[in-house]
Structure 1
Amino acid sequence: MRRSPFYGWWIVSMLGFTEMTSWGVIYYAFSVLLTPMQRELGWSQAHFTGGFSLALFISGIVALPVGRWLDQHGARGLMTLGSCLAAILVVAWANVQSLLAWYLIWAGLGLAMAAILYEPAFAVVATWFQQKRQHALTILTVGGGLASVVYVPLVTRLLGTLNWREVLLWLAAILAVLTIPLHGLVLRGKPADLGLLPDGGSLAVATVTPNPTIQPSMSLGNAIRASSFWWLALAFGLTTMATFTLGVHLISAIQAQGYAPEIQALAVALLGGSQIPSRIVIGSVGRRWPQVQLAWMLCLLQSAAFAIFLFVPNVTGLLLFACLFGAGSGALTPTRAALVADVFGTAQYASISGALALLTTTARALAPVLASLLVGLLHSYQPLFGLLLLMCLISAAAIYLIRGASNG
């Protein structure tokens, strides 16, 4: 008799799809809609990006209480309500008329982001998978990685026939239809609720089988007192700063080197396009290597990318930099999620992950501002990229220092 697939695979496949939709609507659509919004409303670009930055900041601030809720109650109710809130706020976004309303809407979208983007989805995967966690995270993050590929062209195409307010109403409908029912109907609390163990083993069989494989876990309090937590916080904070700094300043840095617009566009496309293949590769390799080892090696790969940018100042060096940094950044997303589970276990995964997110949010908010100050002071991007290289090297060293804590 053929055995039915483990229900966790249905959950992670669904989450890959809903993450693509959620990221596409409430994150990537913003950049496409920015120019038509600015043209109609007449506000400065700083006001528009300020609202978006506020949402990112709030999503990090509430990550810890959201994590505690996930550990105690599971993701089903939170992600369903988060999708409802996001859809309602996208409708409000479509009707915005004042700056006060703009900031209030994005403050609310920050709460929705914390409830429906990667962090709660990672917590679900950590609960449902152990030995096959890297594979599950690959499915999830490849789905999320397709958000820009699907929704940036979609929103651009819709803007050809509709105004930006009408586009947002369509996006709100898409978000509601494609995420609310799936979160509400497919998500479940824990494998044990269905009589299963993580990865699909039978709980009934495990009760009569000696020494079932159960991953040890730490509480949030014990995790915060462990040195490995702070090494991870340092590494995650520095890699986050490097990634967000690059996102803001890459095109300006390329322009400063005098490259043609076509080369600039190709470099940006390669940086984004290399992330999905790297996640697929890491999904295969990651099952055989300890997550700590993978993580510090990926940080070294990013360091090598910055070194190439600095010391190979030609088109080949630029394009190689884009490929290597994009691959490292893409593969780090699922690896970081798996690393937290490997080091601290899954019993309070969401709370610990939320505490780390709270710390990395500060790095994410400060990175573009501090980078702009440095460039303005030195009138060159070379020192900035040298600093980013150093930050990735420190991240690799910090993760290496906890190599003995991973279960692999």
Structure 2
Amino acid sequence: MKEDHPRRISLNPLRNVFPGWWIVTACAAIGAYGGGVYFYGFTLFFNPLKDELQITSAQTSIVFSLTRLEGAFEGAVVGYLIDRYGARIIMKVGVLMAGIGFLLWATVVDSYWMFIVVYVGVIALGINGGFFHPALAVANNWFIRQRSMAMSILGVAVGIGGAILVPLLAFIINTQGWRTAAFLSGIGLLLFIFPMTFFIRHSPESVGLLPDGATAKGPDEATLSSDTRQSGNGHQEQHGTAPMMLEEVNFTVGQAFRTSSMWIFLAAITLRFTAHTAIMVHLSPLMEDRGMSTVAAGGAVGLLVLLTIPGRLLVGWLGDRYPKRKLMTGCLFIQTISLIVLYTATSVLQLYLFIALWAAAYGAGILNWAIVGDYFGRARFATLRGLMGLVYSWGAIVGPVYAGWVHDTTGAYSSAILVFAIITGAAMILYWFCYPPRGAPGSTSP
């Protein structure tokens, strides 16, 4: 007779949490700081740098665009290195470089050319290579059925970092100057962020686990939680949440770039980046141009970032259940409307309406990379993302410079905003037609 054994009940529920979530949490903390002082923080340094170095809006925008150009070529190399050697070592090097770069920025930059050398050659090199590339690769490796939620957590963390650090940076810049803000940012990177990189693990397989905490039921099987059905035109898409057994798709680099899905996706993301990056780079000076003070503009940016948090989580949850291309289309529709509101804005109330709508659509960004993982697999995710950067980064290069040039020549951003609204509408249409690639070459178990 089989004996009944008492069931063990863990008094510590945290022990039952899949380790992938702790890894993603560490990546999120790193990304939160980087997002606050670099991605969202740059717009606060815009006017102080322009005034001290006596340069134009276009020249200041060029520096940011150069970071994107550098990131495009660096990303192709870093992506390969991440897939080859793992995310942790790349993160360590990147965080150290960024921390040292911020210290140099605060102490030695006294000319436009020194600004370019330090910000592009050291800070951006560290941030582009050591923060977002490896973090997304880690999330993509540790999760399949909950990939969108894992990546949305990274996006939410960046948003939280921006919501907390941007107003703080604005206060420090306004009271102590931009150099003090840059110096303190570097100290924080070296003392608090660098130690977190030691907790990163590249993939679940490296510690004897499977993605999502799944249990393999056969040599070629893995548990996924999305019901994948054939759409009317032969493409597979997710609908609902019924679990089923599927092989994981892993395209080679060559196979991925020979699909029409890749090139439609690249066109869509390039157009989106052109408009999105330009607005984010010029957001603080745009608000100041409409009558806000530096502190008020910093608060507006912080509010924007704070409002993106629930939207990112909702988009991440929906992205694990419904076709991501359709969600992207809906988000870009909202973003197009927000730009029309901004174009016609004549009051502070309308500016805050723009912020609310822009924030609601902000979660679309993280779906881009979840789509790459879903369409082309885990094995070469970082390499593919890096090579894609050679294309879509040109949008992030051109957009901010164009906006700066328009402001320098016309004294306002209005015509640039209208162009960005049209571009975003075009990207919306492309995302709708970006179906998953046909077939599943290189299918393997996770």
Report if TM-score (shorter chain) is over 0.5: yes
Deviation at 1:280, TM superposition (A): 1.9
Q: Are 1:190 and 2:203 an aligned pair?
A: yes
Contact between 1:54 and 1:110, CA under 8 Å: does it hold in 2? Answer: no
5+ residue gaps, structure 2:
1-7, 224-244, 440-446
- Structure 1 distance, partners of 2:47, 2:346, is 33
State the percentage of identical aligned residues.
25
Contact between 1:25 and 1:175, CA under 8 Å: does it hold in 2? Answer: no
Give the TM-score normalised by structure 1.
Answer: 0.84
Within the candidate set 214, 217, 220, 1:201 is matched to 214
- Structure 2 distance, partners of 1:31, 1:310, is 20
- Counterpart code for 1:84: L
CA deviations on 1:58-86 (whole Å, 9 max, x unpaired) are 11221111111112222011011111111
* Structure whose residues are more often helix by fraction: 1
Contact between 1:18 and 1:178, CA under 8 Å: does it hold in 2? Answer: no
Alignment correspondent of 2:27: 15
Contact between 2:162 and 2:305, CA under 8 Å: does it hold in 1? Answer: no
Within the candidate set 78, 90, 109, 1:66 is matched to 78
State how 1:156-175 maps to structure 2 within 5 Å.
156-158=170-172, 164-175=178-189
Within the candidate set 369, 388, 399, 2:420 is matched to 388
Deviation at 1:404, TM superposition (A): 4.4
State how 1:9-88 maps to structure 2 within 5 Å.
9-33=21-45, 42-44=53-55, 50-88=62-100
Identify if the C-alpha distance between structure 1 residues 306 and 215 changes in structure 2 by more than 3 Å, giving closer, same or farther: same
- Counterpart code for 2:335: Q
Alignment correspondent of 2:151: 137
Alignment correspondent of 2:108: 96
- Structure 1 distance, partners of 2:343, 2:194, is 46
Within the candidate set 143, 162, 179, 1:148 is matched to 162
Q: Are 1:322 and 2:334 an aligned pair?
A: no
5+ residue gaps, structure 1:
none
Within the candidate set 238, 258, 268, 2:271 is matched to 238
Cα RMSD, aligned residues only: 3.4
Question: Number of matched residues?
Answer: 400
Within the candidate set 378, 385, 399, 1:367 is matched to 399
**Match of 1:403, SS?**
coil
- Structure 2 distance, partners of 1:32, 1:250, is 9
Identify if the C-alpha distance between structure 1 residues 285 and 162 changes in structure 2 by more than 3 Å, giving closer, same or farther: same
- Structure 2 distance, partners of 1:273, 1:163, is 25
- Counterpart code for 1:298: C
Deviation at 1:216, TM superposition (A): 0.4
Contact between 2:163 and 2:303, CA under 8 Å: does it hold in 1? Answer: no
- Structure 2 distance, partners of 1:208, 1:50, is 49
- Counterpart code for 1:351: T
Give the TM-score normalised by structure 2.
Answer: 0.78
Within the candidate set 359, 372, 375, 1:340 is matched to 372
CA deviations on 1:5-33 (whole Å, 9 max, x unpaired) are 21110110111111111223344444445
State how 1:242-253 maps to structure 2 within 5 Å.
242-247=275-280
- Structure 2 distance, partners of 1:51, 1:382, is 22
Within the candidate set 327, 330, 348, 1:297 is matched to 330
- Counterpart code for 2:390: L
